[in-house]
Amino acid sequence: MAKESTPKTVLTVLLLALVCSTLVAGTAVGLRDRQEANQRLDEMKNILVAADLYQSGADIEALFATVETRIVRLEDGSFVPPEELAPAEFNQLKAALDPELGRKLPADQDLAGLGRRENYSLVYLVRENGELAKVVLPIRGRGVWSMMFGYVALDRDLNTVAGATFYRHGETPGLGGEIENPRWLAGWQDKKIYDEEGQPALRVIKGEAPAGEEGRHRIDGISAATRTLDGVSDLLQFWFGDHGFKPFLERHRDGIMEEGGSDHGR
C-alpha cells in the first residue's frame, strides 16, 4: 500500500478522475455519429415494422425508400410542400422546441404530457400499386419514467390500426418496458381508433380486451404496467384528438390518394 497523506490521496483521485472522464468523453464523442446513425436506422425499421413491411435481414434503407415521407400541418391537416419544409431535414422533436415551428400546449390540451407540440409532423405513406395502403404516424407521450416514442400504422380507412411499435422509452424492463413486446403490440391490429361520434376511443384497459366488436376500441392490459399503459392511453387520446392527427385524418378520409398523388412533387 502506498504511504498515505491527504494531498497524495487527493492528487491520486483527481488524476484518476481526469483520466477516466477523458476516456469516457472521448468514446462518447467518437462514437456519436455511429450511434445516431443506428438510432435513425432504428426509427426507419420501426416505421417499417408498424407498416408490416419489415423483413429481417433486408436492407432497411432500401425498404424505407419505398415509403413516401411527407410533412403535414397539424392545425388543418394539409400537406406541406417539400419546398417549404424538406422531410429529410425536418427534425420533429427540435421543431417542438422551436418558437416558430412549435407551440406550448395549455394544460387542458396536454394529455400526453408533452409540454410543447410541434406544428408540423412527419407522416409516412405506404402505397401498393400506386394506391394508398397504409399511413404511419409518429406518436409519443409520457409514461411513468420517460417519454415513450412509437409509431401507429393505420389502414386505408384511416381508422383501423394496422400495426404499432414503441421504439424508445425508459420504462422499467419487464414491467412497463413490455410496451415494446411484439406479442402485445400484435394485439393492436384491427382495433378502431374512432367511435361513431368520431371521437378517439381506443385505449388500453386492465385485463384482457373483449373479443370481436365489443373490444374494438380496447387493447389488452399488461399486469404490473398499469401506469405506463395509462400513459399509452393518454397519448392515443392526444395524438388522435383535435390537437393531434384528427384534422389530418378527417381531411383525407375520402381523398388522401388524390391529394397525395396530385402534389406529390418530391
Give the binding site for other proteins (CB under 8 A).
1-2, 4, 8-9, 12-13, 16-17, 20, 23-24, 27-28, 31, 34-35, 38-39, 41-42, 173-174, 177
Q: Residues 172, 53: contact at Cβ < 8 Å?
A: no
- Measured from the CB atom, the residue of 1 and 107 that comes closer to other proteins is 1
Looking at residue 113, its amino acid is G
CB of 91 to other proteins, least distance (A): 20
Closest-CA residue to 137 (of 246, 41, 261, 255): 246
- Measured from the CB atom, the residue of 56 and 129 that comes closer to other proteins is 56
CB atoms within 10 A of CB 130: 8
- Measured from the CB atom, the residue of 20 and 97 that comes closer to other proteins is 20
In 143-258, DSSP assigns E strands to 147-155, 161-168, 203-204, 218-219
- Measured from the CB atom, the residue of 29 and 107 that comes closer to other proteins is 29
- Measured from the CB atom, the residue of 42 and 195 that comes closer to other proteins is 42
Identify the three-state secondary structure at position 153. Answer: strand
CB of 75 to other proteins, least distance (A): 35
Question: Pairing relation of β-strands 161-168 and 116-118?
Answer: unpaired
Listed in sequence order, the residues at least 6 apart from 125 whose beta carbon sits closer than 8 Å to its beta carbon are 67, 68, 69, 70, 132, 134, 135, 136, 256, 260
CB of 261 to other proteins, least distance (A): 36
CB of 207 to other proteins, least distance (A): 18
CB of 35 to other proteins, least distance (A): 5
